[in-house]
């Protein structure tokens, strides 16, 4: 991982992951607004071309940077025993993060549905922005506060907190309260991802850390994809609040899979 090569283990690396997560959330907020403005003033095809160009420039800039070039491997694959899924407890971390992705997926589907039920479909973007802003704030706080707790304890608290926040939001009907609730849910998102990356950096051998971080992303995205698909069905039948209630319960249940003892041993 590039961040691992640029930072030292501990607080500096935690801050780097925090900055990465915050930038991602700010892009999530600003990106749709910018692209929408481009589409309104030009055409949808121009918006797509601009988006594709931004992705291309970012990818080339990342892969051609001095830091990325310095990480080119020798061509030798990591040993089978070094693979992330073979590390004790790592698969259970991925299970926990499925719940985080689930809450993310349902929130992104529930927000437009709630706005529509209030007759304010135009507020959808603001609801999603509140969710992303909460995540950005959570990431900033996580990176600046010196935490002495173990990674396993952090992961459990963050994932369980996200589940509880989803349960709380499922009881909020007024639009402004719902927006505040989404911001609260988002507050746990970036810190959960950062903790996942830190765990990958701790329990997985250096040769396989890039693969490990990819598994972290895959787990969250898989949870979001599955939850989004299920949320559409649930929302049509029982409403967005019930979908949030269900995913909150699921996230709480999956948080119990945190391999606290394994992570404690790895940090020792």
Packed helices 189-203 and 209-238: angle between N→C axes, nearest 10 degrees = 150
Q: According to the model, what pLDDT value does residue 95 have?
A: 95
Asked if the model's pLDDT at residue 7 lies above 80, the reply is: no
- Please state, in angstroms and rounded to a whole number, the distance separating the CA atoms of residues 200 and 220: 14
Rounded Cα–Cα distance for residues 217 and 55 (Å): 18
Any domain includes 62: no
* Residue 25, domain member (yes or no): no
User: What pLDDT was estimated at residue 81?
Assistant: 62
Q: Domain with 254 in it: what CATH number?
A: 1.20.1250.20
Quick check: is 216 in a domain? yes
Contact between 95 and 155 (Cβ < 8 Å): no
Can you give the pTM of this predicted structure?
0.83
| Residue closest to 139 by CA, chosen among 189, 180, 100, 102 | 189
| Torsion angle of the four alpha carbons 130, 150, 102, 256, in this order, in degrees rounded to the nearest 10 | -140
- Residue 74 is predicted with a pLDDT of 45
Q: Is residue 211 part of a domain?
A: yes
Cα pseudo-dihedral 251, 252, 257, 261, rounded to 10: 130
Residue 71 lies in a domain: no
Number of domains in the chain: 1
Instruction: Identify whether 30 is part of a domain.
Output: no
Does pLDDT of 123 surpass 90? no
Asked if the structure places residue 91 within a domain, the reply is yes
For residue 18, tell me if it sits in a domain: no
- pLDDT tens for each residue of 29-46: 677 667 777 887 888 899
For residue 261, pLDDT beyond 90: no
Q: Which residue has the higher pLDDT, 90 or 73?
A: 90
Res 79: pLDDT: 57
**Cβ(20)–Cβ(142) under 8 Å?**
no
Percent of the chain residues past pLDDT 70, beyond the cut: 89
The mean pLDDT of the chain is: 85
Q: Residue 244 belongs to what domain range? A: 83-267
pLDDT at 67 over 80: no
pLDDT per residue over 176-214, tens digit each?
Answer: 999 999 999 999 999 999 899 888 888 888 778 888 888
């Amino acid at each position: 991982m590039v961040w691992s090569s640029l930072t030292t283990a501990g607080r500096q690396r935690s801050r780097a992951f925090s900055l990465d997560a915050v930038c991602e959330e700010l892009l999530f907020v600003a990106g749709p607004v910018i692209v929408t403005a481009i589409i309104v003033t030009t055409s949808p095809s121009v918006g797509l071309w601009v988006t594709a160009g931004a992705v291309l420039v970012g990818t080339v800039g990342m892969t051609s940077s001095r830091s990325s070039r310095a990480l080119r491997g020798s061509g030798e694959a990591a040993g089978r025993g070094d693979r992330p899924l073979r590390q004790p407890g790592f698969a259970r971390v991925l299970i926990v993060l499925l719940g985080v992705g689930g809450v993310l997926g349902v929130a992104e589907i529930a927000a437009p549905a709630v706005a529509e039920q209030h007759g304010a479909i135009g507020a959808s973007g603001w609801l999603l922005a509140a969710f992303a802003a909460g995540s950005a704030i959570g990431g900033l706080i996580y990176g600046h506060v010196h935490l002495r707790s173990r990674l396993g304890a952090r992961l459990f608290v963050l994932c369980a907190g996200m589940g509880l926040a989803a349960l709380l939001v499922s009881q909020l009907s007024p639009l402004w309260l719902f927006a505040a609730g989404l911001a609260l849910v988002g507050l746990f998102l970036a810190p959960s991802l950062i903790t996942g990356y830190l765990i990958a950096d701790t329990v997985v051998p250096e040769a396989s850390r890039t693969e490990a971080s990819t598994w972290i992303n895959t787990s969250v995205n898989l949870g979001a994809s599955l939850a989004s698909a299920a949320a559409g069905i649930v929302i049509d039948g029982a409403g967005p609040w019930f979908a949030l209630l269900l995913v909150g319960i699921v996230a709480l249940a999956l948080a119990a899979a945190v391999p606290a003892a394994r992570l404690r041993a790895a940090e020792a």
